[in-house]
Chain A
Amino acid sequence: DIQMTQSPSSLSASVGDRVTITCRATQNIHDYLNWYQQKPGKAPKVLISVASILRSGVPSRFSARGSGTEFTLTISSLQPDDFATYYCQQSYTTPYTFGQGTKLDIK
């Protein structure tokens, strides 16, 4: 299985801050990388697919980049609605696997 590792596991930030979350894969997954946002008690929601493509309806303050084994998700100016847990997921091969999550909370 491809292991996905996110860093940091948790992050405290303030409204207006710029934050970056990193996701690393144990092997080359090219650009088969998705990012999800999950709020407490809710199902995850896809933000980014194919490593950098913003899904419809996702605010432009979210961006992502990367290829191969290292990927990043950046939120340019945190808004109150962004405090949540973020997961990366590889779709290069089954079994599909997720990072352990990055919990973003308010400082």
Chain B
Amino acid sequence: QVRLQESGPRLIKPSETLSLTCSVSGGSISDYYWSWLRQPPGKGLEWIGHIYYTGRTNYSPSLKSRVTISLGTSKKQFSLILRSVTAADTAVYYCARDVEDYSGTYSWFAPWGQGTLVSVSS
């Protein structure tokens, strides 16, 4: 079964760039969209954006100016870059696969990585 694991620095300073990688095991990234989501401590979930295995991306408008999602050099990783971070970007960051139904019409997130808490503080 497919498993996802986020990795990257846990503490970064304001104005710096957040960089995370999601490693996919038990399968490749082919034929799916792959998403990044986040959850500030004690708050709800926010979708950041996703990337198709071909490299096509779609970002949340609220973060689009600061976000880049890209594929890794292997077919087993994809990455998130978030520039010019502030304390408001402190959150648990999750990667997840966008699963589609057989018709390709509906989608949901499964599985998810375990999440990694990234704190922005000087």
A residues adjacent to B (C-beta < 8 A): 1, 31-32, 34, 36, 42-46, 49-50, 55, 87, 89, 91, 94-101
Minimum CB–CB distance for A101 against chain B, Å: 5
Question: A42–B112 Cα gap in the complex (Å)?
Answer: 10
**Is the pair A44, B44 in contact by a Cβ cutoff of 8 Å?**
no
Q: How far is the CA of A31 from the CA of B110 in the complex (A)?
A: 18
Distance (whole angstroms) from the CB of B65 to the closest CB of chain A: 14
Contact residues of B with A, CB < 8 Å?
35, 44-47, 58-62, 94, 96, 101, 106-115
Report B-chain residues with C-beta under 8 Å of the C-beta of A36: 109
Knowing A34-B108, A46-B108, A99-B44, say if A94 contacts B113 (CB, 8 Å): no
**Complex contacts, B35 vs chain A, CB 8 Å:** 96
- What secondary structure prevails in chain A residues at the interface with B? loop
Return chain B residues, CB-CB under 8 Å to A94.
Answer: 47, 58, 60
The interface residues of chain A lying within 8 Å CB-to-CB of B101 are 49-50
Instruction: Pick from B44, B46, B58, B107: contact of A91, CB below 8 A.
Output: B107
Q: In the bound complex, how far is the Cα of B107 from the Cα of A31, in angstroms?
A: 11
- Selected contact of A95 from candidates B47, B96, B113, B115, CB within 8 Å: B47
Q: Select from chain B the residue with minimum beta-carbon distance to A51.
A: B106
Q: Which residues of A lie under 8 Å from residue B62 when comparing CB positions?
A: 1, 95
CA A44 to CA B37, docked complex, whole Å: 11
17 A-B residue pairings within 8 Å (CB atoms): A31-B106, A34-B109, A42-B114, A43-B114, A43-B115, A44-B45, A45-B110, A45-B112, A46-B110, A49-B106, A50-B106, A87-B45, A89-B45, A91-B108, A98-B44, A99-B44, A100-B44
